[in-house]
Amino acid sequence: MHDLIRMTAREVLARLNAGDISHGEVLDALEARVVAVDGAVNALPTLCFDRARAHAAKIAALPVAERGILGGLPVPIKDLEAVAGVRSTQGSPLYADHVPAASGWIVERIEARGGVVYAKSNTPEFGAGASTFNAVFGRTRNPWNLSRSVAGSSGGAAAALASGQAWLAQGSDMGGSLRNPASFCGVVGLRPAPGRVPKGPGAEPFASLSVNGPMARNVGDLGLLLDAMAGPDRRDPRAQPGNSGFRASAEAPTVPRRVAFSRDLGITPVDPEVAAICEAAARRFEAMGATVEEAQPDLEGAHEAFQTLRAVSFATGHAIEYAEQRDQLKPDVIWNIEKGLAVTGEQVARANRLRARLVANMAAFFDSFDLLLSPATIVAPFPVGERTVLHCDGQAFESYIDWLAIAFAVTLTSAPALSLPCGFTQGGLPVGLQMVGPLRSEGPLLSHAAALEAELGLDLGPIDPREGA
């Protein structure tokens, strides 16, 4: 493996800024790595290295101070986002040959701040799915064990990071779509509070379930990418001002005073081995001087509220595709849209009332605690051929998204949450710890995550893809 591939994003950036390496050398190393390993993983099905080299050359010609936060670092974009002049499919046969003329807002932001787009990362159709596969590009496999899933829907991004095909990656998260793949692949992913990072254009300008967020191999690099992604956009009515300093927070570890740990947030079964690994990691805060207690906010009603509001979101965003080309959509997408179209006004009103209570409960919870910890996913990576998790610890699930409750309950509160690698199963599969902070506390959350990351001291690669049974 090339020395550059093993470096952190911040190390590569420092060498670029010092003139020790060229932007062309960085892209050459990355392209060689993609050629070497992505045939097994299928994380980055669409490449655009010619476009990337042209953009990198323009950045390289600028003084270092004018190159932007990312300074020419390569970043893959999840295939739900449009990239101008690059095949952008949303994982759907309906858009298999779509080449947009304009980029999505987050792509514009990343490129304006010195990011170089070189690939699109794989995703389920329209981001609907517990595992990353689609009819256009097929399945993405877990580099830690190629027989295992990467979860969804930012699965290609997480797999690219773990296998050394990316230093940084853009993802998005509604019900854990960024946190779940991070957990399964042993990388770090942050779901920021709504409005922290611009999202659009789209059919729901005021929606707050789905957000864009950064993914990386370590917390410091995550802070770097969040600095590049965050900030107001005049087209996004949710955008928040004053978004910066996240890398600095991630590079200044701090220990919270009072930490709450919950094995299940009171709403879901959890695999006992996963729960034990996460609790052991959470207890490491005690060695650093924090108080760790078993506690959780009252999240009753999360299942009903999320199912309703998510369904409405899918119906809003994809009703046209459903009306005109229903026969070309996968069953999971059809189920989501039809559920949304059948929702009554009374059900929406009830879901909003439930959500308001969850937001209030979470806010009150953080009057007593600085940090809430739980498993990021309720199971370790499952077989790649399975569509979803149908049962856990003896309990069967009614729908394909029920296993995501430990993540989507937090989504409903709008609290920032990240998945931090915290250990491995006896079978050598990664497990992520979900770390949740008060609303708009991304800076302290990154700082606390950096402290635990250092305490755990895990060796996470990047790795060569590993065969498994």
Domain boundaries defined on the chain: 3-302+345-456
Taking Cα atoms as reference points, which of 361, 315, 307 lies closest to residue 337? 315
pLDDT at residue 244, rounded to an integer: 86
pLDDT at residue 78, rounded to an integer: 98
Rounded mean pLDDT, 296-320: 96
Residue of 92, 154, 177, 414 marked active site: 177
Identify whether 78 is a catalytic site residue.
yes
The number of residues making up the chain comes to: 469
Q: Structure tokens of 360?
A: 């209030």
Rounded mean pLDDT, 119-148: 96
- Give DSSP secondary structure letters for 162-209: HTTS-SEEEEEESSSTTHHHHHHHT-EEEEPPTTSS---SSS-TT--S
Sheet holding 258-261, edge to edge: 168-173, 211-216, 188-191, 417-424, 430-436, 371-375, 258-261, 291-294
Rounded mean pLDDT, 314-333: 92
Which alpha helices (DSSP H) does 366-431 contain, by range? 405-413
**Phi, psi (degrees; rounded to nearest 5) at 122:** -70, 150
Residue of 153, 374, 441, 447 marked active site: 153
Residue 108 has pLDDT above 90, yes or no: yes
**Tokens 């050359």, located at residue:** 57
- ∠ CA 182-173-405, nearest 5°, is 85
pLDDT at residue 206, rounded to an integer: 93
Rounded mean pLDDT, 50-69: 98
pLDDT at residue 240, rounded to an integer: 83
Report the half-sphere exposure of 179 (CA within 13 A, side-chain side): 32
pLDDT at residue 129, rounded to an integer: 84
Q: How far apart are CA 440 and CA 296, in angstroms?
A: 19
Q: How confident is the model at residue 380 (pLDDT cuts 50, 70, 90)?
A: very high
Q: How confident is the model at residue 355 (pLDDT cuts 50, 70, 90)?
A: very high
| pTM for this entry | 0.98
Rounded mean pLDDT, 248-276: 98
pLDDT at residue 58, rounded to an integer: 98
Q: How confident is the model at residue 121 (pLDDT cuts 50, 70, 90)?
A: very high
Amino acid identity at 446: L
Sheet holding 46-47, edge to edge: 46-47, 116-121, 74-78
Exposure string for 25-55, b = 16+ CB within 10 A, e = fewer: ebbebbbebbebbbeebbbbbbbbbebbbeb
Identify whether 58 is a catalytic site residue.
no
Q: Structure tokens of 464?
A: 């060569």
The CATH number of 3-302+345-456 is which of 3.30.70.100, 3.90.1300.10, 3.30.70.1140, 1.20.1250.20?
A: 3.90.1300.10
Residue 243 has pLDDT above 80, yes or no: no
Rounded mean pLDDT, 330-342: 92
Identify whether 177 is a catalytic site residue.
yes
Q: How confident is the model at residue 188 (pLDDT cuts 50, 70, 90)?
A: very high
Residue of 78, 120, 199, 330 marked active site: 78
**Phi, psi (degrees; rounded to nearest 5) at 281:** -65, -45
Least confident piece of the model among 40-54, 67-81, 327-341: 327-341
Classify residue 55 by its DSSP letter: H
Percent of the chain with pLDDT over 70: 100
Rounded mean pLDDT, 391-416: 96
Exposure string for 368-392, b = 16+ CB within 10 A, e = fewer: ebbbbbbbbbbbbbbebeebbbeeb
Task: Determine contact, residues 416/446, Cβ cutoff 8 Å.
Answer: no
Task: Determine contact, residues 202/317, Cβ cutoff 8 Å.
Answer: yes
